[in-house]
């Protein structure tokens, strides 16, 4: 049964315009073979089935209010554009066509509500722009770009939060114009080796999540690493204005197709996220650090290896220029202030002289054992 106020529901040649109260009951079935303009009520109370169809026209949904349906089928061969959000509370079937949403914000998106499901997503049937999900602990966003499906999966502990996601088939060094800055892949924490230069995702939300990113041959994983165990998820930190290691707790796949899962993080702390590699075992690239302990400015007072917390175990040894050990630590926590703790030390509170020191740092976690070496310059 379909209930509506007919005097407030008008058909035009190119669109059906709802400016009243439109409600579908459980056994209702409606096929829209024209554009939809919703300036009235099309809300979460709708039941039944709504199909959006087109064989040769670009279909659109617009108006002042979100349009919400229960079961939805999209069979628009020449695609569907959203100028207001489309909500689905039960099932969505991507039969034909891409759903385009604006990329300059999340006010308009394809909303997956009530932990609903979808079918039929592929390279030509997906969301090009923002999709959102609410009331779900785990969800895979059917997002893509330019006839290219690139899913993003989240796992969270709080299903009361709405999350938004999009995919960008762009080099983060030269993102599209809807981003206000470039995400330069050389601005990164020291334990990040290489960052993808072909793609990135946007993930928005206030609660902690684990994000799983996927790859396929277009991702060019072989340009990041030859060892899949070193794959990571990284995010462009809004506060630090550089790429930060978000972890790689699990991976599955081969060099052509697969996925990698991050540690827990809060999406709103990062502008974008993407795939990257850490350093592999035996890669002894120097990492050189200058720090300024006890110089009175309360800044840069300890020796910090950014991203060290992503490794379960470490061992740090620091030497002076004559090879004598001045400091050692097992499971170092970025807390050394430039004082000596070597065998020749009389007073451990004594600060080491200004100058150059050398270190070795061994790192271990479940999948990786690797070493770092370099120099440290203490400047007071």
Token output for 279: 């350093």
The rounded distance, in Å, linking the Cα atoms of 262 and 251 is 9
The rounded distance, in Å, linking the Cα atoms of 60 and 293 is 60
Q: Does the structure show a pLDDT above 90 at 10?
A: no
Q: Does the structure show a pLDDT above 70 at 52?
A: yes
* 8 Å CB contact between 51 and 72: yes
- Domain boundaries of the chain, sorted by first residue: 2-278, 289-378
Q: Does the structure show a pLDDT above 70 at 346?
A: no
pLDDT digits (tens, 9 = 90+) for 151-178: 999 999 898 999 999 999 999 999 999 9
- Range in 222-226, 256-260, 296-300 with the lowest mean pLDDT: 296-300
* 8 Å CB contact between 70 and 90: yes
Sign of CA dihedral 148, 85, 207, 300: positive
Paired with 195 in beta bridges are 276
Res 363: pLDDT = 86
pTM: 0.81
Q: What architecture is the 289-378 domain classified under in CATH?
A: Sandwich (2.60)
Neighbours of 149 (CB within 10 A): 21
pLDDT digits (tens, 9 = 90+) for 120-156: 999 999 999 999 999 889 999 999 998 999 999 999 9
């Amino acid at each position: 049964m379909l209930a509506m106020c007919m005097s407030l529901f008008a058909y035009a040649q190119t669109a059906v315009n709802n400016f009243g109260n439109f409600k579908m009951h459980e056994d209702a079935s409606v096929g829209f073979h024209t554009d939809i303009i919703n300036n009235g009520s099309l809300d979460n109370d709708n039941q039944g089935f709504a199909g959006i169809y087109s064989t040769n026209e670009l279909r659109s949904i617009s108006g002042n209010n979100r349009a919400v349906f229960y079961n939805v089928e999209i069979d628009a061969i020449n695609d569907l554009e959203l100028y207001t959000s489309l909500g689905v509370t039960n099932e969505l079937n991507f039969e034909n066509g891409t759903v385009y949403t604006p990329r300059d914000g999340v006010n308009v998106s394809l909303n997956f509500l009530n932990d609903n499901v979808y079918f039929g997503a592929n390279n030509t049937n997906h969301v090009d722009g923002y999709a959102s999900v609410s009331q779900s602990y785990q969800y895979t966003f059917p997002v893509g770009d330019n006839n290219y499906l690139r899913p993003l999966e989240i796992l969270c502990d709080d299903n009361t939060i709405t999350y938004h996601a999009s995919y960008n088939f762009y080099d983060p060094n030269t993102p599209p114009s809807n981003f206000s800055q470039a995400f330069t892949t050389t601005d990164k924490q020291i334990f990040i080796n290489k960052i993808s230069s072909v793609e990135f995702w946007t993930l928005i939300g206030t609660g902690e999540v684990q994000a799983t990113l996927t790859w396929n041959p277009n991702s060019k994983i072989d340009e990041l690493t030859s060892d899949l165990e070193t794959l990571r998820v990284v995010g462009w930190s809004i506060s630090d204005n550089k790429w930060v290691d978000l972890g790689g707790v699990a991976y599955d796949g081969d060099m052509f197709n697969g996925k990698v899962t991050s540690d827990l993080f809060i999406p709103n702390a990062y502008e974008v996220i993407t795939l990257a590699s850490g350093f592999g075992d035996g890669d002894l690239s120097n990492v050189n650090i200058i720090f300024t302990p006890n110089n009175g400015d309360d800044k840069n007072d300890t020796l910090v290896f950014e991203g060290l917390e992503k490794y379960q175990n470490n061992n740090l040894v620091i030497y002076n220029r004559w090879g004598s050990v001045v400091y050692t630590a097992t499971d170092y926590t970025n807390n050394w202030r430039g004082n000596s703790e070597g065998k020749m030390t009389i007073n451990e509170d004594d600060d080491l002289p200004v100058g150059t020191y050398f270190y070795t740092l061994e790192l271990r976690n479940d999948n990786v054992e690797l070493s770092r070496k370099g120099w440290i310059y203490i400047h007071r």
